[in-house]
């Protein structure tokens, strides 16, 4: 029986995103991505983003009813070694994320974690970039709507200088 493989990736920073891809028999079953909400002054680290990617991927696997051998594959050495209990989680910021991921992982009968190099995680990485592009597009749309609203008069007629 071939394992269902779940690739995940997370990117911290100003726009923090995550992405995952679920594959079986070398075909893609499902994909997901999103932006990690956070306060403007709060910076999301790569480790936090990687955990958010893993948690989202675990939730998706559960939602889609995936069973049998599952292999979660990521390029974060720290996350993989913490999930395989080779490293302990001491960071106050990561500990609740680790606990959430471990709780979700415990709900699967057979689950494995494997680390790969960044260049081998192209599809999950691409999902992170897609989430970033979606976020930027939404912010541009919001700014455009704000400009249009600002140009509206009380009667509903719009007036623009220029």
Mean pLDDT (whole number) for 26-42: 83
Given a cut of 70, is residue 35 above it in pLDDT?
yes
Look over the chain and give the mean of its residue pLDDT values, rounded to a whole number.
86
Rounded to a whole number of angstroms, the distance between the first and last alpha carbons of the chain is 67
Confidence tier at 28 by pLDDT (50, 70, 90):
confident
d(CA 33, CA 28): 14
4-149 architecture in CATH?
Answer: 2-Layer Sandwich (3.30)
**Pick from 125, 136, 157, 108: nearest CA to 31:** 125
Output the six-digit token pair for 74: 């990521």
Q: How far apart are CA 44 and CA 12, in angstroms?
A: 5
**pLDDT exceeds 90 at position 54:** yes
Residue 24: per-residue pLDDT = 86
pLDDT band at 100 (very low <50, low <70, confident <90, very high): very high
b/e burial code for range 32-57 (CB count within 10 A of at least 16 → b): bbbbbeeeeeeebebbbbbbbbbbbb
Contact 64, 110 (CB under 8 A): no
Give the model confidence (pLDDT) of 143-159 as tens digits: 555 555 454 444 443 33
What pLDDT is recorded for position 157? Answer: 39
pTM score, whole prediction = 0.83
pLDDT band at residue 138 under the 50/70/90 scheme:
confident
- 147's tokens: 């400009």
149 DSSP assignment = H
Residue 148: what pLDDT? 52
Q: Where are the domains of the chain?
A: 4-149
Strand runs labelled E in 36-126: 69-74, 110-115
Confidence at residue 52, expressed as pLDDT on a 0 to 100 scale: 96
Reported as a pLDDT band with limits 50, 70 and 90, residue 162 is very low
105 pLDDT higher than 90:
yes
pLDDT band at 112 (very low <50, low <70, confident <90, very high): very high
């Amino acid at each position: 029986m071939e394992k269902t493989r779940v690739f995940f990736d997370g990117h911290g920073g100003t726009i923090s995103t995550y992405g995952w891809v679920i594959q079986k028999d070398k075909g893609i079953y499902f994909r997901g991505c999103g932006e990690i909400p956070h306060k403007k002054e709060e910076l999301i680290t790569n480790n936090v983003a990687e955990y958010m990617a893993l948690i989202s991927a675990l939730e998706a696997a559960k939602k889609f009813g995936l069973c049998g051998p599952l292999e979660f594959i990521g390029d974060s050495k720290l996350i993989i070694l913490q999930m395989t209990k080779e490293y302990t989680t001491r960071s106050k910021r990561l500990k609740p994320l680790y606990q959430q991921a471990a709780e979700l992982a415990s709900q699967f009968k057979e689950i494995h974690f494997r680390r790969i190099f960044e260049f081998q995680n192209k599809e999950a990485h691409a999902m992170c970039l897609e989430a970033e592009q979606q976020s930027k597009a939404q912010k541009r749309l919001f700014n455009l709507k704000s400009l249009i609203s600002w140009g509206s008069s009380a009667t509903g007629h719009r007036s623009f200088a220029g």
